[in-house]
Amino acid sequence: MKIQNYINGEFLPPVADRWIENYNPAIGEVYGQIPDSTKEDVEKAVEAAEKAFPSWSNTTLTRRSEILSKIADLIKEKLTFLAESESKDNGKPVSLATQIDIPRAASNFQFFANAITQFSSEAHESVGLNAVNFTLRQPIGVVGCISPWNLPLYLFTWKIAPAIAAGNCVIAKPSEVTPMTAYLLAEITKDAGLPKGVLNIVHGLGTSTGQAIVEHKKIKAISFTGGTTTGAHIARVAAPMFKKLSLELGGKNPNIIFADCDYDKMLETTVRSSFANQGQICLCGSRIFVEEKIYEKFKKDFVQKVSELKVGNPLEESTNIGALVSKEHLEKVKSYIDIAENEGGKILFGGDRIAVKGSENGYYLQPTIIEVASNQCRLNQEEIFGPVVTIMPFKTDEEALQLANDVKYGLSATLWTNNLNRTLQFSKQLHVGIVWVNTWLMRDLRTPFGGQKESGIGREGGFEALRFLQNLKIYV
Ligand code: TXE
């Protein structure tokens, strides 16, 4: 199957007629091709977006909202097909795609369909001066959305929905590793009546197609989610053009467990926060710190629970852990297990590839738990982004806080305790964008999302996304 670019409302092959192979990670085989787009394709997309902008930015909020709602409805109607397509493209369990990824993609559109009707410019009366100051928020123009492979449609729509709701026209590039659901979304937006040129989807490699988007002078803002190294590169390219940037990058999140927590809930949630989506979520709690008093018990119980997880064909409902996204990524994750062995880490569970019956060439890895002696080891300092977690004990609150913050990333943290004072202290002092207390991965779509330190800059979600995607002007 050949995926096409979607430019100016039409499905088009890449100008240079070059193609990239698309793999099904569950079986390790090519099942399609995607455009290897060049600058010329991006140029065509920008022309279409520029042409569509005057009309789209003047389209009433009611109409924009209707179209976004319709897109949400169509995603829901096609839930099963989209979930199966996502699972095949990415290797994630179809159950996860059905319960989380695809419903969230629909919610992203529905949320911004509503939010845009409640979003407003502001006016401030200068009392006594006989003047009113208007703070006008206007769409930027053509914006770029670049998304990763871990939550393909979920993160693609997380960027596109607010961008078009805010009145912009979009050049979007999904990850070349997982292009399928973005391709399917194009048809959906067409059926929902989104005018041609408002959303243009250009497929291809990061270093060529993505680079062309970031370099294009007429693309005034970039919303990017991906690796920290790529984010730093994008910032360097975009800075001389003074583009607006929102960068949601990597994480190496602490999961801090105190003896006074609700143990059973903590254990069950920690299995999820460690291995959901094969550990390929920037919010996974990959560094587990456990209060010494319960360390040995936790170790035993955690290993037991994790050993019960079923690694297997992602299309089987009973599968807990599917395939990693690509061969390259599997090798990268596996290399960290080798590093652990050299660094003196002790593998408590897992560490090996798995040959799943009937899919022996798929990219499967056992969920892996490694006990480390120091937070300074590479395993605790670098983002592995796979089904690998480390554990180590701590004695005091001060030590736990120090360990949690002693890393270059600052995306999220999870805290397990029933002590209110400790909760308040940690929530204030953790250097992260989101702290979960006695829960994980729960977030109201109205809240601003993003990280500190090398986890990125800017906030997306709720009105923050709309603020980022509009320009401000004051007139008096
Ligand atoms: O991501 P990239 P990769 C982390 C994770 C992973 C590592 C590398 O640790 O192992 O990053 O993954 C596009 N200009 N995360 O290499 O390269 C690319 O095509 C413009 C964390 O797959 O950052 C894709 O669409 N675009 C993360 C997107 O950027 C470029 C999710 C992300 O790819 C580009 C994914 C360029 N020069 C990986 N180079 C998270 N925070 O959730 C690449 N791209």
Q: Pocket of ligand 1, candidates 230, 286, 454: which has the most ligand atoms within 8 Å of its Cβ, to mutate?
A: 230
E strand segments, 140-251: 142-146, 169-173, 199-201, 219-225, 244-248
pLDDT at residue 279 tops 90 = yes
Catalytic residues: 248, 282
CA atoms within 13 A on the CB side of 123: 5
| Ramachandran quadrant class, 56 (left: phi over 0; alpha: psi -120 to 50; beta: rest) | alpha
| Cβ 340 vs Cβ 372: under 8 Å | yes
Q: Measured between alpha carbons, how far is 455 from 453 in angstroms, rounded to an integer?
A: 5
Q: What is the mean pLDDT of residues 174-186?
A: 98
Question: How do residues 321-355 score in pLDDT, each as one tens digit?
Answer: 999 999 999 999 999 999 998 888 999 999 999 99
Name the residue at shortest CA distance from atom 27 of ligand 1.
226
Predicted confidence band of residue 471 (pLDDT cuts 50, 70, 90):
very high
Angle between helices 397-405 and 420-429 (to 10 degrees): 30
Q: Which residue has its alpha carbon closest to ligand 1 atom 3?
A: 227
Using the CB atoms, write b or e for 111-125: b if 16+ within 10 Å. Answer: bbbebbeebeeeeee
Residue nearest to atom 28 of ligand 1 (CA): 148
Query: Which tens digits make up the pLDDT trace of 411-428?
Result: 999 999 999 999 999 999
What is the pLDDT averaged over residues 192-205? 99
Determine which residue's CA is closest to atom 11 belonging to ligand 1.
Answer: 227
Q: How many helices (H) and strands (E) does the chain have?
A: 16, 22
Residue nearest to atom 25 of ligand 1 (CA): 175
Residue 170 has pLDDT above 90, yes or no: yes
Over residues 5-31, the mean pLDDT reads 98
Give me ligand 1 centre to Cα 178, in Å. Answer: 12
Pocket of ligand 1 (CB under 6 A): 146-150, 173, 175-176, 206-207, 210-211, 214, 225-227, 230, 233-234, 248-250, 282, 383, 385
Query: Tokens for 19?
Result: 């193609």
Please state the pTM of the whole predicted model: 0.98
Region 377-384: what's the mean pLDDT? Answer: 98
The average pLDDT across 42-59 equals 98
> Average pLDDT over the chain, rounded to whole?
98
Atom nearest to 233 CA in ligand 1: 37
Residue 12 has pLDDT above 90, yes or no: yes
Question: Among candidates 34, 160, 105, 83, which has minimal Cα distance to 317?
Answer: 83
**Which of 179, 177, 192 shows the shortest CA–CA distance to 153?**
179
Q: In terms of Cα–Cα distance, which of 414, 456, 148, 402 is closest to 283? A: 414
Per residue in 79-105, pLDDT tens? 999 999 999 999 999 999 999 999 999
Which atom of ligand 1 is found nearest the CA of 149?
Answer: 35
Tell me how far the alpha carbon of residue 154 lies from the centroid of ligand 1, in angstroms: 15
176 CA from centroid of ligand 1 (Å): 10
Residue 442 reports pLDDT greater than 90: yes
**Residue 5, φ and ψ in degrees, nearest 5:** -70, 160
In this structure, are residues 285 and 389 in contact, taking their beta carbons and an 8 Å threshold? yes
Residue 78: CA atoms inside 13 Å, Cβ hemisphere, count?
Answer: 19
Q: For the segment 247-271, what is each residue's pLDDT rounded down to a tens digit?
A: 999 999 999 999 999 999 999 999 9
State residue 449's pLDDT score. Answer: 96
DSSP-derived pairing of the beta strands 452-453 and 409-410: antiparallel
Atom of ligand 1 nearest to the CA of 155: 42
Calculate how far, in angstroms, residue 148's C-alpha sits from the geometric centre of ligand 1. 6
3 state SS of 244? strand
**Residue-level pLDDT at 16:** 98
Determine the 3-state secondary structure of 394 from DSSP: strand
Q: What 3 state SS string does 306-369 have?
A: HHCCCECCCCCCCCCECCCCCHHHHHHHHHHHHHHHHHCCEEEECCCECCECCECCCCCECCEE
Find all residues with CB under 8 Å of 265, minimum gap 6, and list them: 438
Q: Whose CA is nearest to atom 30 of ligand 1?
A: 206
212 pLDDT more than 90:
yes
Binning pLDDT at 50, 70 and 90, where does residue 69 land?
Answer: very high
Q: How would residue 19 be classed by pLDDT, with cut points 50, 70 and 90? A: very high
Mean pLDDT of 159-177: 98
DSSP summary character for residue 461: S
pLDDT at 341: 85
Q: How many residues does the chain have?
A: 476
Give the position, in ligand 1's atom list, of the atom nearest the Cα of 325. Answer: 22
Q: What is the pLDDT of residue 121?
A: 87
Q: Are strands 19-24 and 29-35 parallel, antiparallel or unpaired?
A: antiparallel
